[in-house]
Structure formats: structure tokens, C-alpha cells
Amino acid sequence: MTFNVIGIDLPDEQNFWKIMRANMGKPPVLSTDENMNHVYKNAYENRNMMATYSTYAFSKADIVVIDINLDVKKRYVGNPYDYIFTYENFKSAIKTVADNISENTLVVIESTVPPGTTQKVIYPIFLESFRNRGLDINKLYLSYSYERVMPGPSYLSSIINFYRVYSGINKESKLKAKAFFESFINTKDYPLFELHSTTAAEMAKVLENSYRAMNIAFIQEWTEYAEKAHVNLFEVIEAIRVRPTHKNIMLPGFGVGGYCLTKDPLLANWSYQNLYNCDGTLKMSIDAVAVNDLMPDYTYSLLKQEVGVLKDKFITILGISYLGDVADTRHTPTDLFYDRCMREGAIVKLHDPLVGFWQERGLKVETDIKSLGDSRHDIAVFATRHKQYLTMSADDILSILPGVKVILDANNIINDDVAEKLSSNGIKMIGVGKGHWNSLRRNDG
């Protein structure tokens, strides 16, 4: 099925360029997925896609899909119990939709929200608006369904070829939502999951991300323990993951970034306390966020333990993006680590093949790895699992980082063979989760 699509966003500087790009037949944000370029070009040629600031389009829509950010602001790094959350902007955006749509429109909420939001926050806005406008609220079709999209080269396919969860405020809303999803999702291979309530569907989203956040935090605890016991936790986890009941156990790493895992447990907690008036907190889930937010400090402590004073040391950080082969710096763990190094007076150089400019910090980043060879490096920290780093040989690393004395692998990037070669070249190798790397190859009992 082909839809005529109108993309609507708020009038601000960033969106200006997004809307421009979309109207020129290009994805609004750069994508490593070639298919994204293709579908935008296609839509441009077929003239069935336009982008605008104007909210006028709502009145003409059969279907309105809402993907507005609902943010949480933590006051301090490492204390996710102290956060600020408000519906303010979200509610006014919903009101704009409610005040403009016609009867018989299907509204699909895709934003990640505190569970209960569709029933307790969104529906009342539509109810009031429809009443004021003399429309029949029974002709509103309101549904909730979240994205499980994967950033990176399979972006588009991850929308089409994956299981979709949805619900609606009544039977008709569910039916209309179902028909909509069947029109573009490969439901033959990935059947839809219809849940009983929109609250259940909202909960599925924050639960699946909290599950992930919690499992990452759990392994951090064991990473620190394993290091004290000189155990390489990667080989331990490899031996555990073969069990079907233990396949999701996470690996040690540098930290957690991005938009979802860093905040979704807080949205759940907000709902728990404010929409359902529960005492207490979702303690394990929030504790997990606390551990994850401070994870880069562990990498930093390993470095301090080995090197001591960092003042005036030349530190090269390889990887700004929070995820390998993706150009996304939102809440990247590199941020805290960079901050720690700078505060101690280190001279920090940044590299990332995909991030030329670090938006949040307003910093230029080197993208050409070869040009690093002209600089001084005392310490190199591999932070992001970019393919470019994963495929480097010991010789590559030696030529790119001349004179480097300490290499810290924070994210399981350098394999044992390469590490051994670098070590035999007199470089001190440290690795998060690697135990005491230099003694790995000995049979030390």
C-alpha cells in the first residue's frame, strides 16, 4: 500500500535542515542504511512525501503517527533517583493534534512514555478537545505501538521485518491499528502482538529496555570482581552463553549511551509513583541506571591504577559514538570519561570515523585515522566498537599511534592475539573485563 505522507516537526533551527532534506528526497538525518536514501528518493520522485512545520495537515490525515520525544533530565550523573520529568511540551503537541484532526482519524502514539500515559494523559486531551469542538469522541481511534528500530545499516529493515506490539483504547482502535501495521510490516514472518491495553503496550517498551539496562549493570559488578580475581570475564561469559537460559547475559564494556536505556527505567518509575501512586521506587531498574551512568568511571579507574597522574599526558580516545558503526553521540559514555581526563589536565585527542563534530560538547573530532600518526600519544583508549577499530592489526595500531605506551581497551575491541603482539612491543595493555591481560596466556592456575 502507498500512503501520502506529510512529516511535521516544530519550527526550530535543527528541524529546518531536516525538513529541507526530506523535501529534497533525502533522509532527514544521515543514515548508514542505503535503503533510507533509496526510499526517500523514491518518495520524492513519486511526490507522495513532503515535510513541513504546518499543523494544518492534521485535519486532512486519515492516520496521525506521533513520535514526539518525552525526555527525562537527570540532575546529577550517577544519581538517577533525582530527575526532572514533565509532560508539558508533549501535552501541548498532543493538544495541537487533538484540536486539528477530524473524526475517524487513527492516532498512533509511538513515543516511549510512562505506562498509563495514553489512558490517563493523552485520551483526556482528545476527550476535552472533541467535546469543545462538538465532535464525537467515539469516532476517535487511539492506539499505542512502540518502535523497535535498530540504528545502523539495517534501519529500514528493522522496522519492516520485526515483531510489532500494539494496543488501542477500544476494539475499533485496535482493529484500525492492526490494519495499518499490516500494510507495511512483514507480519507473515513477524506476527503482530496485540495486547489487552495501551498501558500493557507502553509497559512492554520500558520493560524491555529496563531489562537490558539491568543486565548491563549486573555484569559491571562482576567485571570489577573478575578484575580483582585476575579472571578474564569474556571467556567465562562465553562458557555461560551456550546455555539457552543464559543467552542474553551481557559482556563487560565501556558504558551505556543512546536515548533509550539511559532514561526508560526512569519513565517507568515516574509512572509507578505518579500515575499509580505507588510508594517506593522500581529500585533494581533505577539502581541499574545509576551503575550504567557511572560505568566509564571504572575504565578511568583502571587507567589511573596503571598510569597514576594523568596531568599533561597525551590521551587519544578512539570512539565518540555510543554504539559501533553508528554516528550517535547522545549520552555517549565517552562524555564522562573525557570529562574525567580533562579535569585532571590530560591533553585529549578525539577520533571517530563517523563523528566529525561532537554536538553536545561543540568539539571537532578527527575522522581520518591515518592523520593520528602525526600526533603524540602516551595513552590510547579504544571506546567504541566501530568496525574500523575491530579489524586493525597490531602493525596498524603501532603505525597509527606511534610512541604509545599504554593501550586501554574499554570495549572488547582488541583481540587476544593483537594484544599479545602489542604487549611484546613493550606496550602496557589494559582491558575492561580482561583480567590481567598480560598474564592471560600463561597457565597460571
In the complex, least distance from residue 170 CB atom to its own copies, rounded to whole angstroms: 6
Crossing angle of helices 198-228 and 283-293, in 10° steps, is 50
Which part of the chain contacts its own copies (CB under 8 A), choosing from 6-14, 284-292, 367-375, 405-413?
284-292
In the complex, least distance from residue 279 CB atom to its own copies, rounded to whole angstroms: 10
In the complex, least distance from residue 118 CB atom to its own copies, rounded to whole angstroms: 8
Which is closer to its own copies, CB of 107 or CB of 214?
A: 214
Q: According to CB under 8 A, which one of 285, 292, 299, 334 is a site residue for its own copies?
A: 285
Residues facing residue 347 across a β-bridge = 314
260 binds its own copies (CB under 8 A): no
Contact string (CB under 8 A) for its own copies, positions 139-158, x = contact: ---------x----------
Q: According to CB under 8 A, which one of 10, 127, 284, 309 is a site residue for its own copies?
A: 284
Contact string (CB under 8 A) for its own copies, positions 415-444, x = contact: --------------------x----x--xx
Which part of the chain contacts its own copies (CB under 8 A), choosing from 30-38, 276-284, 296-304, 306-314?
276-284
Which is closer to its own copies, CB of 5 or CB of 249?
A: 249
Instruction: For residue 235, report the phi and psi dihedrals to the nearest 5 degrees.
Output: -70, -30
Q: According to CB under 8 A, which one of 272, 300, 322, 338 is a site residue for its own copies?
A: 272
Contact 113, 145 (CB under 8 A): no
In the complex, least distance from residue 116 CB atom to its own copies, rounded to whole angstroms: 6
Q: According to CB under 8 A, which one of 283, 364, 370, 376 is a site residue for its own copies?
A: 283
In the complex, least distance from residue 374 CB atom to its own copies, rounded to whole angstroms: 39
| # chain residues binding its own copies, by CB under 8 A | 73
In the complex, least distance from residue 161 CB atom to its own copies, rounded to whole angstroms: 13
Identify the sign of the CA torsion 321, 322, 324, 325. negative
Which is closer to its own copies, CB of 391 or CB of 443?
A: 443
Which 341-370 positions form the footprint of its own copies (CB under 8 A)?
none
Which 235-254 positions form the footprint of its own copies (CB under 8 A)?
235-240, 242-249
Which is closer to its own copies, CB of 236 or CB of 398?
A: 236
Which is closer to its own copies, CB of 256 or CB of 404?
A: 256
Which 384-413 positions form the footprint of its own copies (CB under 8 A)?
none
Which is closer to its own copies, CB of 167 or CB of 316?
A: 167
Which is closer to its own copies, CB of 66 or CB of 347?
A: 66
278 binds its own copies (CB under 8 A): yes
Q: According to CB under 8 A, which one of 32, 79, 119, 187 is a site residue for its own copies?
A: 119
Which 176-235 positions form the footprint of its own copies (CB under 8 A)?
193, 195-200, 203-204, 207-208, 210-212, 214-215, 217-218, 221-222, 224-226, 228-233, 235
Which is closer to its own copies, CB of 425 or CB of 439?
A: 439
Q: According to CB under 8 A, which one of 275, 342, 390, 398 is a site residue for its own copies?
A: 275
Which 58-117 positions form the footprint of its own copies (CB under 8 A)?
115-116
Cα gap 50→203, rounded to integer Å:
33
In the complex, least distance from residue 443 CB atom to its own copies, rounded to whole angstroms: 5
Cβ count near 432 (within 10 Å): 26
Straight-line distance from the first to the last Cα atom of the chain, in angstroms, rounded to the nearest whole number: 63
Contact 350, 317 (CB under 8 A): yes
323 binds its own copies (CB under 8 A): no
In the complex, least distance from residue 435 CB atom to its own copies, rounded to whole angstroms: 8
What distances in angstroms separate CA 276 from CA 123, 197, 260, 270, 271, one per listed residue? 17, 15, 22, 9, 6
